[in-house]
Amino acid sequence: MILKTTSSLAGKRLLLIIGGGIAAYKCLDLIRRVRERGMTVRCILTRGGAEFITPLSVSALSGEKVYSDLFSLTDEVEMGHIRLSREADLVLVAPATADMMAKMAAGIADNLATTALLATDKPVMIAPSMNSHMWNHAATQRNFNQLVQDGIRTIAPASGDLACGEVGPGRLAEVGDMVAALENFFDVTGPLVGKHILVTAGPTREAIDPVRYIANHSSGKQGYAIARALRNLGARVSLISGPTALEAPDGIERIHIDSARDMLSACKKALPADVAICVAAVADWRMKNVPDQKIKKQDGSLPALQLTENPDILEFLARKTDRRPDLVIGFAAETENIQDNARAKLARKGCDWIVANDVSTRDGGQSVMGGDHNRVSLITESAIEDWEQAPKDEVARRLARKIATHFT
Ligand code: PMT
């Protein structure tokens, strides 16, 4: 096995508590990936976890004995549960099931895993995973918030297809994101430490009347992925987000806004920043006057909706503030002449880089807006780089690395 001793995980000890969920299989890859980075891993495999993966595979990958029984005399003689819980630099629970979170929040210690969690004097991190209804249930959210208040660190679950066939939040974070969260926990020297980065994401909503609004299909996925990637490199990130269904990423300040004008004032408040990245799909227009009352249907005649232009946030950050970030990056959502239009936007709005993406749906595939993949070109005044189609997380990581390189 090749040890990458440059990782912040090198020489660190992890106690991994594997909960009883289908996503337990991801822990096998997690063990391999963190060990490659020089981390030692001891595992507690819960009874539920052992329904999905075997002690033999966990032991083979971790190179350590696997613990599962609180009342095993042999285990207690070799390594008592107190020692097990303390001979680690960090305790990670993955997947953290609704049941496990409820027990942790209530301080229940009825098996080796929950006893170790109560006995430990080390930081604890959880990576929740469950069906989206279970995740959104008031009891789970209450327990989760309690754990956050108790100082437990979290790796937010991802949204997407769940093993139960439903779609929504509750999927165990990808192994790469878990490794990044662990590295981030131990890393105090990421390349973007000390940098404050402002990211706008999601759509804006412009009221037509008290019940209707103008919006678009942006899901916020690309902007949130960029925020997470920057955080993973050590940046302090302010995420200014329009309405989305996404969970607030751990360790990132998220500011909710509705309209373009709200987004502009939130950006102004967040300055100064070293970098600004405008990923949000901001509505170009809003109603000139929003009536106090709902617009009524009038026998066949159409309402005359008078629009006015919204402020341009990217242009403000690039040209109109005396606190201009060192690097201002825009996105260009185009449906034709992608690179030419993007170049024109770069010049018109005065940003340093522009990331062009094709948001048309003409090929019948999944649209970039709302989808999980993106294919972008990174355009500067002097160069164009075409990046291959990739998951939005990968696009985000690549952009974050580019930004880190810009500052070295
Ligand atoms: O959210 P997802 O579903 O993941 O989709 C991602 C995305 C397609 C929304 C994203 O990749 C993207 O392209 N974002 C930019 C969307 C957009 O509004 O593009 P635009 O070409 O209309 O605007 C150009 C730039 O000006 C953008 O950086 C935009 O944030 C900014 N802008 C636009 C209008 C305005 N009033 N203020 C702005 O700051």
What CATH number does the domain located at 13-186 have?
A: 3.40.50.1950
C-alpha closest to that of 272 among 322, 223, 208, 225: 322
Q: How far apart are CA 118 and CA 104, in angstroms?
A: 8
> What pLDDT was estimated at residue 74?
66
- Conformational region of residue 330, where left means phi above 0, alpha means psi within -120 to 50, and beta covers everything else: beta
> What pLDDT was estimated at residue 1?
45
> What pLDDT was estimated at residue 361?
77
351 pocket-lining for ligand 1 (C-beta < 6 Å): no
How far is ligand 1, taken at its centre, from the CA of residue 170, in Å?
Answer: 27
199 pocket-lining for ligand 1 (C-beta < 6 Å): no
The label of the residue with tokens 């749906």 reads: 361
Q: Would you state the structure tokens that stand for residue 199, as one six-digit string?
A: 């990211």
Contact 254, 239 (CB under 8 A): yes
Angle between helices 221-232 and 175-186 (to 10 degrees): 40
Segment 387-402, tens digit of pLDDT: 999 999 999 999 999 9
How far is ligand 1, taken at its centre, from the CA of residue 281, in Å?
Answer: 4
How far is ligand 1, taken at its centre, from the CA of residue 62, in Å?
Answer: 44
* Coil/strand/helix, residue 281: strand
C-alpha closest to that of 278 among 229, 227, 320, 236: 227
Q: Residue with the nearest Cα to atom 33 of ligand 1? A: 282
Q: Would you state the structure tokens that stand for residue 4, as one six-digit string?
A: 């990458």
Q: How far apart are CA 153 and CA 185, in angstroms?
A: 9
332 pocket-lining for ligand 1 (C-beta < 6 Å): yes
284 pocket-lining for ligand 1 (C-beta < 6 Å): yes
> What pLDDT was estimated at residue 363?
62
Closest-lying ligand 1 atom to the alpha carbon of residue 310? 36
Please name the residues in contact with 93: beta carbons below 8 A apart, sequence gap of 6 or more.
Answer: 17, 19, 100, 104, 113, 117, 124, 125, 126, 127
Mutating to test ligand 1, I would choose from 199, 310, 331, 377 the residue with most ligand atoms within 8 A of its C-beta, which is 331
278 pocket-lining for ligand 1 (C-beta < 6 Å): yes
> What pLDDT was estimated at residue 79?
65
- Please state the pTM of the whole predicted model: 0.64
Fold equal for 13-186 and 196-406: yes
Q: How far apart are CA 93 and CA 52, in angstroms?
A: 15
> What pLDDT was estimated at residue 2?
46
Architecture of the domain spanning 196-406: 3-Layer(aba) Sandwich (3.40)
Q: How far apart are CA 343 and CA 341, in angstroms?
A: 5
Q: In what order do the strands lie in the sheet with 384-386?
A: 253-256, 236-241, 196-201, 275-278, 327-334, 353-358, 376-380, 384-386
Q: How far apart are CA 394 and CA 402, in angstroms?
A: 12
204 pocket-lining for ligand 1 (C-beta < 6 Å): no
Residue extents of the structural domains in the chain: 13-186, 196-406
* Coil/strand/helix, residue 95: strand
| Active-site hit among 164, 267, 278, 351 | 164
Strand partners, 356: 332, 377
> What pLDDT was estimated at residue 216?
97
> What pLDDT was estimated at residue 186?
85
Q: How far apart are CA 356 and CA 96, in angstroms?
A: 38
The answer to whether 351 is a known catalytic residue is no
Q: How far apart are CA 335 and CA 305, in angstroms?
A: 25
Q: Residue with the nearest Cα to atom 17 of ligand 1? A: 281
Mutating to test ligand 1, I would choose from 257, 282, 372 the residue with most ligand atoms within 8 A of its C-beta, which is 282
Burial class (CB in 10 A: 0-12, 13-18, 19+), 125: buried
> What pLDDT was estimated at residue 3?
46
Q: What tens-digit pLDDT sequence spans the chain (408 residues)?
A: 444 457 889 999 999 999 999 999 999 999 999 999 999 999 999 999 999 999 999 999 999 999 987 777 666 666 677 888 889 999 999 999 999 999 999 999 999 999 999 999 898 999 999 988 899 999 999 999 899 878 888 998 887 777 777 777 788 999 999 999 998 888 766 899 889 999 999 999 999 999 999 999 999 999 999 999 999 898 989 999 999 999 888 778 889 999 999 999 999 999 999 999 999 999 999 999 999 999 999 888 999 999 999 999 999 999 999 999 999 999 999 999 999 999 999 999 999 999 999 999 766 677 999 999 999 999 999 999 999 999 999 999 999 999 999 998
346 pocket-lining for ligand 1 (C-beta < 6 Å): no
Q: How far apart are CA 126 and CA 377, in angstroms?
A: 36
